[in-house]
Amino acid sequence: MTVALHRPDWQIHLAGLATDRTTLPPPADARSRAAALPGPGRPHAPGLEVVGAAARVPLATGGHVEYANLDHAASAPALRVVRDAVDTVLDRYASVHRGAGWHSRLCTSLYEGAREPVRRFVGGRPDDAVVFTRNTTDAFALLAHCLPPRTTVVVFETEHHAALLPWERTATVVRLAAPADADDAVAAAEAALRRRSPGPALLVVTGASNVTGEVWPVARLAAVARARGARVVLDAAQLAPHRSLSVAELGVDYVAVSGHKLYAPYGAGALVGRSDWLSAAPPYLLGGGACALVGDRETRYAPVPARHEGGTPNVVGAVALATACHALGGVDRSRLTAVEAALTARLADGLAAVPGVTVHRLWPSADAIGVVTFTVAGQPAAVVAAALSAEHGIGVRDGAFCAHPLVRRLLGAAGDGDGGCGTPGDVGQAIRASAGLGTSTEHVDRLLRAVRSIAAHGPRLAYVDVDGRPAPAVDVDGRPAPAVDGRPVPALVPWL
């Protein structure tokens, strides 16, 4: 039976975004580049306003300032259109697939309909499966679960742990050293695939580094893999929020994305790609929805994608992810690329010009998204990040960014404590500033002024842990805190 449902208001609103394009050619010189830079409160493109863009935060030194969110690579705020869509759906929320009520039928339609905007956003093929997951880590774990026996997985040590680690229980893993440049990456992958053992093979490729921002030669790596009879999975967690991509044009077999990186932080991600390995494997999570029939002697599993979406699905997360994909796919991405390139150049060049600051790159001359990682001589990364927050209202990330092998390579033996994923050791720590749709020139310039001051004179305040020990010892949240800090935590929820 086919149920015809009217499109909710949020879908009608989203449809209008496709015609609301901002066309601005990439800046060709310094003057046009400066004109492309966004000012405070000015969205990078119509329809892509972020929630909380004008939020103000207290300073430990007194007063308030607009929050400068330079931590988009970790998790991005929601787009306003995503929040509006979720709020609309919550008025009609019900469990999907197994309810007879009107709200259940409506949510089922929305949940299943959310697959197509995601597929379209990543340039998927018509027969590609779209499996909703929790995030990119979950998507890679799902694919690892579905690998055929005797699969060889080739992966660079520069990958995020989400793409580096899931294969170790189910496959033979060939881990490649950090390549010197894009050509070296292609040559290393080709050599590893040529020498592999007989059987299926999978090449794991990142779209853009979460540590240094370099955009990898995905199409070239995919061509090498195809020539050697291997498949390719693309980690697009960092690439997708910043650049257009097409699974079909790049020649990859699978792509993983996270909603919380894509301005849809509602607990959903997706694995998009070929369905044969997914269909041959048992359910990733056994339970309701993953099974077509449970009999006395036999259990029959549901087809893909339901096969790997056991339990009550996250309809809100799926709607949020699809809405973000629709919104981002409905604007001129070249405009966003031009704005981001100008912001990133301003950020990277400004930091490199500060005495005592080192900007870390894997490939210094490579194209990169808006991620800049740096260290300040003589200052622990955690203290610098704490001072940027407490004294300047700037949010950055410090640590090893769940990419320990890459950070070890970049920083050498400069270890100073926690490795960034809750694991103590000599990994080394750095500070990462990452731009996004809420970033303005004022945010970048404020960071540059603050880092210049810290590099020259150190933080203004003393930083200690909860027991009063001087930093770099850290507090219960893993962060140094000002020794004197009168800022109260606001009661945002009833249980505080």
Full set of structural domains in the chain with CATH? 28-78+332-482 (3.90.1150.10)
Q: Which among 390, 369, 381, 364 is positioned nearest to 460, based on CA atoms?
A: 390
The whole-angstrom separation of Cα 456 and Cα 79 is 37
Chain centroid to CA 131 = 18
Q: What is the pLDDT of residues 141-158, one digit of tens each?
A: 999 999 999 999 999 999
Q: Other C-beta atoms within 10 Å of 336: how many?
A: 22
Task: Specify the 3-state DSSP secondary structure of 422.
Answer: coil
Give the integer Cα–Cα distance in Å for 104 and 313. 12
Is the pLDDT confidence value at 238 over 70?
A: yes
Q: Is the pLDDT of residue 342 over 70?
A: yes
pLDDT surpasses 60 at 422: no
Query: For residue 486, what pLDDT band results from cuts at 50, 70 and 90?
Result: confident
- DSSP helix/strand/coil, 196: coil
- Over residues 159-169, the mean pLDDT reads 96
DSSP assignment letter at 298: -
pLDDT (0 to 100) of residue 97: 92
Strands (DSSP E) along 208-316, which ranges? 231-235, 254-258, 269-273, 291-294, 299-301
Supply 73's token pair: 């690579």
Q: Which helix (H) or strand (E) holds 258?
A: strand 254-258
φ, ψ for residue 381 (rounded to 5)?
-55, -40
| Cβ–Cβ under 8 Å, residues 416 and 380 | yes
Q: Are 151 and 168 in contact (CB under 8 A)?
A: no
Say which residues have a Cβ less than 8 Å from residue 372's Cβ, sequence separation at least 6.
213, 344, 347, 348, 351, 359, 432, 433, 434
Cα–Cα distances in Å, from 270 out to 82, 119, 143, 162, 260? Answer: 17, 9, 11, 14, 11
- Helix axis angle, 9-17 to 80-90, nearest 10°: 160
DSSP string, 337-383: HHHHHHHHHHHHHHHHTSTTEEEE-SSTTS-B-SEEEEEETTB-HHH
Q: What is the DSSP letter of 292?
A: E
Indicate the SS3 state at residue 252.
Answer: coil
Q: What is 21-68 written as a DSSP string?
A: ----PPP-SHHHHHHHS--TT--SSTT-PBTTTT-EEE-TTSSEEE-E
Asked about 402 being catalytic, the answer comes back as yes
Phi, psi for residue 282 in degrees, rounded to 5: -65, 165
DSSP state, residue 314 = -
Chain position carrying tokens 């060939």: 174
d(CA 59, CA 68): 12
> CA-to-CA distance for 345 and 289, rounded, in angstroms?
48
Query: Residue range 162-180: average pLDDT?
Result: 95
Instruction: Report DSSP state, residue 415.
Output: -
What average pLDDT does the segment 346-352 reach? 97
**pLDDT value at position 308?**
97
Q: How far is CA 445 from CA 66, 266, 366, 393, in A?
A: 13, 31, 24, 13
Catalytic position from the list 146, 291, 402, 421: 402
The model carries a pTM of 0.89
Specify the pLDDT at position 368: 96
If you average pLDDT over each of 41-45, 361-365, 397-401, which comes out highest? Answer: 397-401
Distance CA 56, CA 487 (A): 13
Mean pLDDT for the chain overall: 88
Lowest-confidence region among 31-45, 146-160, 354-368, 391-405:
31-45
Selected residue with higher pLDDT from 110 and 35: 110
Q: What is the pLDDT of residue 478?
A: 60
The CA distance from 103 to 114, in Å, is: 16
pLDDT for residue 64 is more than 70 = yes
Residue 495 has a pLDDT of: 87
Range from 183-197, 439-453, 457-471 carrying the lowest mean pLDDT: 457-471
Instruction: Report pLDDT for 47.
Output: 86
pLDDT at position 40: 59
β-strands 172-176, 152-156 pairing:
parallel
User: What number of other Cβ atoms are within 10 A of residue 177's Cβ?
Assistant: 12
Please report the pLDDT score of residue 458 as a whole number.
Answer: 97
